[in-house]
Structure 1
Amino acid sequence: MVTENLKTVHERIFEACSKSSRNPDEVTLIAVSKTKPVEMLQEAYDAGIRCFGENKVQEIMDKYEVLPKDIRWHMIGHLQRNKVKYIVDKVDLIHSVDSLKLAQEINKEALKKQVIVSILIEVNVAKEDSKFGTTLETCIELVQEISQLPQIKVKGLMTIAPYVTNPEDNREVFKELKKLAVDIKNKNIDNVDMKILSMGMTGDYQVAIEEGATMVRVGTGIFGERDYNKG
């Protein structure tokens, strides 16, 4: 199932890139594997996937131990400051930094482990109360503050768009994030680049790609429905 689903997702990424005159190589597929057993991740790995996204620190730690070491782990869920120390040297990218305090904690733990940590700033574009993230209005100031931290590299922005039945309803959200990234890039802030736009999930990743996504986070579209009994 996973292999077949991946084929479909790759085809849709290619379609979206063709439609928007983009090179498919510019788009990285993150297989969102939260709650999924290692057997399913191994199947995706065998089909060529190397980037996996997890919501919980404990799941990253457990899967990191048993799966191939060339996997690039992405922390895409809300990260609590007291859990930072467990993953700073294990993840390729933290997508969900939304406060200076969290960034300072990452910087502190990264210094202890002598690593540089790549992060994205999470922006709550749609202003949903249920979502984490800084606002469009405060993001630039936050980026400027975080750019002072020596063990962190700001690589771009991330948003979790609202759940919608029609993906077109999220087009404006993706446009807003892209516009913000351009505004930040034009400020030429040291230690900051805006190469990564992590936006779009199973229901709307094609629209996100058309609006400039460089990473799409697809879970259900690859692994099937999430098992909510597992957290």
Structure 2
Amino acid sequence: MSVKEKLISIQKEIEVVCNRVKRNPASIQIVAVTKYVSVETTEKALNAGLIHIGENRVEGAVQKWEALHESGIWHFIGSMQTRKVKQIIGKYEYLHSLDRLSLAKEVDKRLEEGQVMKCFVQVNVSGEESKSGLAPEEVIPFIKELSTFQGIQVIGLMTMAPFFDDAELTRPIFRRLKEIKDSVMALQLPYAPCTELSMGMSNDYRVAIEEGATFIRLGSALVGRE
């Protein structure tokens, strides 16, 4: 199947899920995760009608942005080393992996006056040692500490669930992230509206949508691997 055919199939699946839980399919943004594919395949994804492109590694992120930045909206979704922040500032609009004050400080420092980075705070809901992110109980104290950074806007929370053959097992993780997000929203912090949830990947995006995902990150199911 072509990327276009896969996208149409996934969009139909999203409609089915949204109808089941009474959500508007337009509230779901698909981020095409292109870390395992070439610039050419990424271009095909954009030509297929995808808008949001997600990269995990700085080198690939810069390469693809330089080739294709006139199309699409660019998301950095991988762990970000502080020393590499300067390479994505001014290129990527979204950062899905804000997880420490030193990173927030560097992002804020590198932004030009008036620029804003739309950030998701990464939360390690499952507690897996192999995954980055804050523990659930650390999220609100961390977000409160971001108040002094003019360029950081916390638009939502992000998590990665463990891979299960049965995607239903991810449901408690996604549900917990939504609960934390609602708690942050209730604080009504002007720099942290926290209305979005970046959760759900190729194997579990249906469950994530049922639990409130607004951004789903799809790689293998959408653009494949090369």
1:28 aligns with 2:29: yes
Unaligned runs of 5+ in 2: none
- Secondary structure, counterpart of 2:105 in structure 1: helix
Q: Separation in 2 of the partners of 1:160 and 1:148?
A: 28
Shift of 1:81: 0.1
Residue type at the aligned position of 2:97: S
- Distance apart, 1:147 and its partner CA: 2.8
Aligned to 1:170: 170
Q: What is the Cα deviation at residue 76 of structure 1?
A: 0.4
C-alpha deviation, 1:148, in angstroms: 2.3
Deviation, 1:171, is 0.3
Q: Which residue is equivalent to 1:214?
A: 214
Which runs of 5 or more residues in structure 1 are unaligned? Answer: none
Equivalent residue, structure 2, for 1:117: 117
Q: Distance in 2 between matches of 1:174 and 1:140?
A: 17
C-alpha deviation, 1:135, in angstroms:
0.7
Q: Distance in 2 between matches of 1:31 and 1:58?
A: 17
2: CA distance, partners of 1:195 / 1:182: 8
**Aligned-partner SS, 1:127:** coil
Query: Does the residue aligned with 1:165 lie in a helix, a strand or coil?
Result: coil
- How much is the aligned-residue C-alpha RMSD, in angstroms? 1.2
Q: How many Å separate the matches in 1 of 2:116 and 2:71?
A: 18
Which residue identity does 2:45 align to in structure 1? A
Deviation at 1:114, TM superposition (A): 5.1
Cα distance 1:110–1:188, how it changes in 2: closer, same or farther (>3 A)? same
Superposition map of 1:79-228 within 5 A: 79-111=80-112, 115-224=115-224, 226-227=225-226
Deviations, residues 14-68 of structure 1 (Å, cap 9, x unaligned): 1111111000110000000002111111111111001000001111111111115
TM-score, normalised to structure 2, is: 0.96
| Structure 1 CA distance for aligned equivalents of residues 189 and 114 of structure 2 | 23
Number of residue equivalences:
225
Q: Is 2:25 the partner of 1:3?
A: no
Q: TM-score, normalised by structure 1?
A: 0.94
C-alpha separation in 1, matches of 2:71 and 2:192: 26
8 A contact 2:46–2:71 mirrored in 1: no
Secondary structure class of the residue paired with 1:154: strand
Partner of 2:189, secondary structure, is: coil
Q: Measure, in 2, the Cα distance between the counterparts of 1:145 and 1:130.
A: 25
Are the counterparts in 2 of residues 147 and 154 from structure 1 also a CA contact under 8 Å? no
Identity of aligned residues (%): 37
Alignment-mate amino acid for residue 145 of structure 2:
E
Partner of 1:60: 61
C-alpha distance in 2 between matches for 1:70 and 1:60: 14
Q: 3-state DSSP class of the match of 2:11?
A: helix
The AA in structure 2 aligned to 1:146 is L
Aligned AA for 1:212?
Answer: G
Partner Cα separation in structure 2 for residue 117 and residue 9 of structure 1? 29
Q: What is the one-letter code of the residue matched to 2:48?
A: A
1:117 Cα deviation (Å)? 1.1
